[in-house]
């Protein structure tokens, strides 16, 4: 796979719920600053976050009243979803916009499958509309869990092809590992591990005993960033799925949902308040437990990544630094070999020379959070109904204990469900 072919893929970008629907979003994706926006008709677009006029970030602009173009906030130039410049306000009234590509902004094709947006990162090649993730209804993932993690894309997939870390690194998280200590990994062990690799990715099969019960598991990694977990089911059955893309060289954005080969038909029944409350409680619990899960090994993964980066040049092979002793480490070996053979040990990145890496964080004016952080915050603390109730209780509690009604609750808190969030924009 050469550098161009690496980008000729559909990369997972975001669930819809993590993006503002009627305002431009700044999204750092594969090292490239993008503006992602939605037209009034509901079509999503992604473009370089840089106005061709004087390079202002388009993500600071707005959607036009007609809803079919994005307007730069510096001098009001407008761009359609295809990137063509459709308005230069300072031109004389009778002048037309010169039909020159240099006035256009670069656009990247986006397709929506279920609630998940996928982006084609090589605009010079027509996107593959026949790709299984574009055609297969199983890939219509519903809005699920999304988060940015403080380590790189390759360390994520190396780690989630390493089943023996789970009992220790995630000890005490969830009912399967509900202990404060694991003294003996044989209580929670992996046997008969076999690996298979091809151009598309890596597959692991093994038996895992958790709290006395043994299950056969199949874990699959597929380029450019899909991971399946299947337990005691066929390879074509439903699966837990994680999809992920690099944010930059040190961070990865993950999305988790349910892959279902036989999705039930959509019912458009109006939901009762009880069903809505149940759903919101489920979302809070689901997000909280996944956050705990991913928090518990974040530092354990970033530390070796930084050690290896500090010790040697770019693209060094982590396998040359590891001492792997067990047959159960074969997932790590298989992934790293695949990574070197298919990607030369590099990350799939789309960092352009023109767009510098500018550290920034776009803040929501009311809450001081990015949209992604706001959604993450809402889903982990119960924004909306639960969040409001929580804020009222907090205010009441503060006024009782301190005799004050000062600011507290979701609007002013700086913590995100007790866990640190790394902004990707």
Comparing CA positions, the residue from 217, 239, 214, 210 lying closest to residue 162 is 217
User: Three-state SS across 6-55?
Assistant: HHCCEEEEEEHHHCCCCCCEEEEECCEEEEEEECCCCCEEEEECCCCCCC
292 binds, among Fe ion, ligand FES, none (CB under 5 to 8 A by kind): none
- What is the Cα–Cα distance from 310 to 327, expressed in whole angstroms? 29
Around 344, how many Cα atoms within 13 Å sit in the side-chain half-sphere?
A: 9
- What is the Cα–Cα distance from 215 to 236, expressed in whole angstroms? 17
49 binds Fe ion (CB under 5 A): no
- What is the Cα–Cα distance from 160 to 148, expressed in whole angstroms? 16
| Residue from 1, 23, 53, 337 binding ligand FES (CB under 6 A) | 53
Site string for Fe ion, 276-305 (x = CB under 5 A): ---------------------x--------
* Two tokens, residue 165: 């870390």
Q: Which residues have a Cβ under 8 Å from the Cβ of 9 and sit 6 or more positions away?
A: 120, 121, 223, 224, 348
End-to-end CA distance of the chain: 29
Shortest distance (Å) from residue 407 CB to ligand FES: 36
75 binds ligand FES (CB under 6 A): yes
91 binds ligand FES (CB under 6 A): no
Which of these ranges, 50-58, 91-99, 103-111, 318-326, lies near ligand FES under the rule CB under 6 A?
Answer: 50-58
CB of 49 or CB of 154, closer to Fe ion: 154
CB of 48 or CB of 297, closer to Fe ion: 297
297 binds, among Fe ion, ligand FES, none (CB under 5 to 8 A by kind): Fe ion
376 binds ligand FES (CB under 6 A): no
| Residue from 4, 22, 43, 54 binding ligand FES (CB under 6 A) | 54
Shortest distance (Å) from residue 425 CB to ligand FES: 19
> Between vectors from CA 182 to CA 178 and to CA 188, what angle results, nearest 5°?
80
CB of 51 or CB of 328, closer to ligand FES: 51
The DSSP letter of residue 272 is P
Site string for ligand FES, 55-74 (x = CB under 6 A): -x---------------x-x
* Helix residue ranges per DSSP H, 259-384: 273-296, 298-311, 330-343, 371-381
196 binds ligand FES (CB under 6 A): no
51 binds ligand FES (CB under 6 A): yes
| Beta carbons of 32 and 245 less than 8 angstroms apart | no
9 binds Fe ion (CB under 5 A): no
355 binds ligand FES (CB under 6 A): no
Shortest distance (Å) from residue 35 CB to ligand FES: 12
Question: Is the Cα dihedral 405, 407, 411, 413 positive or negative?
Answer: negative
Phi, psi of 398 (to 5 degrees): -65, -40
Binding residues for Fe ion (CB under 5 A): 297
Binding residues for ligand FES (CB under 6 A): 51, 53-54, 56, 72, 74-77
């Amino acid at each position: 796979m050469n550098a161009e072919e690496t980008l000729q893929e559909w990369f997972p970008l975001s669930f819809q719920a993590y993006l503002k629907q009627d305002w431009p979003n700044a999204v750092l994706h594969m090292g490239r600053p993008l503006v992602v926006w939605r037209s009034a008709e509901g079509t999503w677009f992604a473009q370089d976050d840089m106005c061709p006029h004087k390079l202002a970030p388009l993500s600071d602009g707005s959607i036009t009243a007609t809803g079919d173009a994005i307007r730069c906030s510096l001098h009001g130039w407008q761009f359609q979803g295809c990137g063509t410049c459709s308005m230069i306000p300072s031109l004389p009234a009778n002048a037309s916009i010169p039909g020159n590509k240099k006035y256009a902004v670069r656009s990247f094709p986006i397709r929506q499958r279920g609630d998940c947006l996928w982006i084609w990162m090589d605009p010079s090649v027509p996107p593959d509309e026949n790709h299984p993730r574009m055609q297969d209804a199983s890939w219509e993932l519903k809005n699920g869990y999304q988060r940015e993690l403080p380590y790189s894309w390759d360390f994520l997939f190396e780690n989630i092809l390493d089943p023996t870390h789970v009992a220790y690194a995630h000890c005490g998280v969830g009912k399967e590992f509900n202990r404060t200590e694991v003294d003996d990994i044989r209580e929670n062990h992996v046997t008969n591990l076999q690996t298979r690799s091809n151009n598309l990715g890596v597959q692991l099969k093994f038996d895992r005993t958790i709290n006395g019960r043994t299950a056969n598991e199949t874990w699959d990694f597929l380029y450019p960033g899909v991971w399946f977990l299947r337990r005691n089911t066929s390879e074509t059955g439903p699966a837990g799925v994680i999809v992920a893309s690099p944010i930059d060289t040190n961070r990865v954005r993950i999305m988790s949902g349910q892959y279902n080969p036989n999705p039930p038909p959509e019912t458009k029944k109006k939901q009762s308040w009880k069903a809505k409350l149940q759903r919101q409680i489920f979302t809070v619990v689901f997000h909280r437990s996944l956050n705990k899960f991913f928090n518990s090994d974040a530092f354990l993964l970033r530390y070796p990544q930084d050690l290896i980066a500090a010790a040697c040049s770019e693209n060094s092979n982590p396998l040359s630094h590891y001492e792997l002793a067990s047959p159960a480490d074969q997932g790590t070996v298989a992934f790293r070999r695949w990574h070197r053979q298919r990607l030369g040990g590099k990350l799939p990145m789309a960092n352009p020379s023109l767009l510098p890496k500018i550290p920034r964080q776009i803040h929501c004016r009311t809450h001081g959070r990015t949209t992604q952080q706001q959604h993450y915050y809402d889903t982990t603390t119960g924004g909306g109904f639960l969040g409001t109730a929580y804020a009222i209780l907090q205010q009441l509690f503060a006024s009782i204990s301190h005799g004050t009604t000062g600011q507290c609750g979701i609007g002013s808190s700086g913590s995100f469900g007790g866990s640190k969030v790394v902004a990707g924009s």
